[in-house]
């Protein structure tokens, strides 16, 4: 270990660590705007920024393969699928009053509890993990492919089914709305024929 490596600590971050922190703050801000905005199209666009920020974080961690998979699958496929679903359901471009269900505090509580549980699980799982820097890169194609198709194939396929169900649901909602617009408002029952003006011309004025 050199003297420069020994003197490096928390109070002397490197340029990569500073960039990692700044990109993380931008990603966190984009994620907050995704779930707080009342414009559905803007929420999808902020989601692009959040997912792109995660890809940059992977690049800073020298996991190039994971970064490009993040861009190709999530930014290039998942977000496009969301936008396609918004177009199918004819979502309004402006502010949507029905986008807020009034359960913000309940959603915030669940989100905070989920985030705390995920942080605890990750810290507990990797607390004593030793990373061999001389071995194969953790984000290489071979290591990632072996881990994905051996250990995470079931969640990967479940995500595919979930996205397919979301797309089918968007198509069903759009067809139902189109059918309701085509049918028009129901006719009022018991309504008599319209009065004929001037039918009795010989009547008393």
103: Cα within 13 Å, side-chain hemisphere: 6
pLDDT over 50 (residue 4): no
pTM: 0.59
- Mean pLDDT over 122-131 rounds to 78
pLDDT value at residue 29: 93
Query: 1 or 24: which carries more pLDDT confidence?
Result: 24
- Hey, CA dihedral for 128, 133, 137, 142, is it positive or negative? negative
CB atoms within 10 A of CB 36: 11
Residues belonging to the chain: 205
Encode pLDDT of 130-160 as tens digits.
766 566 566 567 777 777 777 777 877 887 7
């Amino acid at each position: 270990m050199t003297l420069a490596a020994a003197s490096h600590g928390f109070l002397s971050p490197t340029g990569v660590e500073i960039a990692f922190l700044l990109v993380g703050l931008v990603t966190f801000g984009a994620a907050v705007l995704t779930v707080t905005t009342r414009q559905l199209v803007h929420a999808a666009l902020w989601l692009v920024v959040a997912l792109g920020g995660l890809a940059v974080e992977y690049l800073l961690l020298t996991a190039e393969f994971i970064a490009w998979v993040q861009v190709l699958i999530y930014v290039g496929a998942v977000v496009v699928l969301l936008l396609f679903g918004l177009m199918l359901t004819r979502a309004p471009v402006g502010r949507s009053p029905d986008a807020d269900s009034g359960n913000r505090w309940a959603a915030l509580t669940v989100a905070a509890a989920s985030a705390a549980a995920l942080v605890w699980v990750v810290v507990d799982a990797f607390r004593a993990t030793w990373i061999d820097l001389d071995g194969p890169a953790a984000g290489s194609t071979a290591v990632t492919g072996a881990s994905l198709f051996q250990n995470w194939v079931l969640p990967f396929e479940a995500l595919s089914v979930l996205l397919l169900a979301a797309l089918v649901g968007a198509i069903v909602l759009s067809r139902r709305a189109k059918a309701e617009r085509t049918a028009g408002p129901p006719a009022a029952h018991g309504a008599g024929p319209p009065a004929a003006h001037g039918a009795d011309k010989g009547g008393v004025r």
